Structure 1
């Protein structure tokens, strides 16, 4: 669904966490003739890159200030994108609006990241805003179906992909993680709070320690959204850094859910994968 088709109103507010994706979304919106306004999160978003865009800084826990700034900038439609280290509730400095919603805030914190993000999203929507997803505002950033690299998965890798899909589907309701590594049918690692980069580093260490005996060039990183996930928030993301981690872990490639996975710097990602003879494939939902 394009931004025009979904009735997106300009400007669109981007609640920006860390990483490259908030800026990719802003560029995509601008290319469609829709003005992006960044609301970078203090301590998370790259301050140097923010300066290119119209922006207003916000802090976690200050919903009242954030809502006021959204209105001042004329942003009815909001998208959250980027990485964010989940703070503990005791670390969050609450403003008066957030204190009035404290019961809802506490309930949002009692769960995984998806539960937290969807809970905050509901609070914003109750105040008249509309939370939209990448599918609505920047569908060009989503992984297509099929192989985007010169290398393609072997029959063994295809079996590993299917095993990974089943494992992640089973784990989805528990809001644990969005990725798993499967080698020759064996699930050797599942993502937890550490994230995908650390998951791949752990697999590399297991290989160095002799705990993984399969030859290099076998096994797959599989990423997909959790089955209960609100797809407007926290979609799986891959990019050049993921490719580097997969290569260091001695795997054969990456499989993600087409249409529900973000591709950061896609051209650089494909070039990095081709240079290492790795595959990157989008599989149907």
Structure 2
């Protein structure tokens, strides 16, 4: 059965790095779609031989619009990581987006990631396309409430989860990042522009230097930003998150149920179980659920 809206025009997947764009493309194909892949220049992984695709610059709205028209695209999903914002010289707009150019430039220079993504969504929709979320194509990716693996948090872990969740929520409101690490009730790391994996590497380094307790494990919490448009950049965890959290000495990972993506769930759960770590979906409306 085709996805809702499949008769309205072709689906395009704007692909950054990582495996998520491929999972979405395969799911869309299984649902009867013929997705067209817009591979972001210097970002997308070379995994698209089995799909119709084209390369487009991150800031090339003119080129993007031309591809939308050529391939009769009406719906767009944005997925995958983008490491670098376009420079001013890489921004190319067409008449449909020219009025938004001053706003776009201000956002690129001073806005956080969520502000940038909202700006990109508005530019895409100015071309006449409808932006949809990754979870609309592959809803099974969404984290569910409760343990995702075979291990559950201890009472100490729950206290760390609550404190890290409060920190991650505050961080999100500032449009800075989505993750926080708490060890023994102490916030030891907040996610910035470097991303989750780099933050966890920093925690591992600090622990090795004795700056973080060797006795207490701690947790990673990732939350959707309170003001975030959930059609783009939902928090995601996967095998690499588990591996990096293990290297950082953490007891486990908590993500926001219904507003975070779990990539390669079975393999991730197997890795977490093997490492003796929990992965759990939490509902921010149910604070203290683990007590």
TM range (shorter): over 0.9
1:158 aligned partner: 158
Please, what TM-score do these two structures have when normalized by structure 1? Answer: 0.92
1:89 aligned partner: 87
Deviates more, 1:6-15 or 1:75-84: 6-15
How much does 1:170 deviate? 1.8
1:126 aligned partner: 126
- Aligned equivalents of 2:136 and 2:86: distance in 1? 31
What are the residue-to-residue correspondences of 1:202-213 with 2, within 5 Å? 202-213=202-213
Matched, 1:269 2:268: yes
Q: Is the 8 A contact 1:10 1:35 kept in 2?
A: no
Q: Is the 8 A contact 2:58 2:86 kept in 1?
A: no
Structure 1 stretches of 4+ with a deviation exceeding 4 A read: 95-101
Residue correspondences, number: 281
2:104 aligned partner: 105
1:34 aligned partner: 33
How much does 1:99 deviate? 6.0
Q: Is the 8 A contact 2:183 2:213 kept in 1?
A: no
1:53-74, Cα deviation, whole Å (9 max, x unpaired): 1112111221111111012212
User: For structure 2, which runs of at least 5 residues remain unmatched after alignment?
Assistant: 285-291
1:62 aligned partner: 60
Check 1:95–1:171 CA distance in 2 against 1; reply closer, same or farther (3 A cut): closer
User: For structure 1, which runs of at least 5 residues remain unmatched after alignment?
Assistant: none
1:57 aligns to what SS in structure 2?
strand
Please, what TM-score do these two structures have when normalized by structure 2? Answer: 0.91
- Aligned equivalents of 1:261 and 1:157: distance in 2? 20
Q: Is the 8 A contact 1:183 1:214 kept in 2?
A: no
1:175 aligned partner: 175
2:123 aligns to what SS in structure 1?
helix
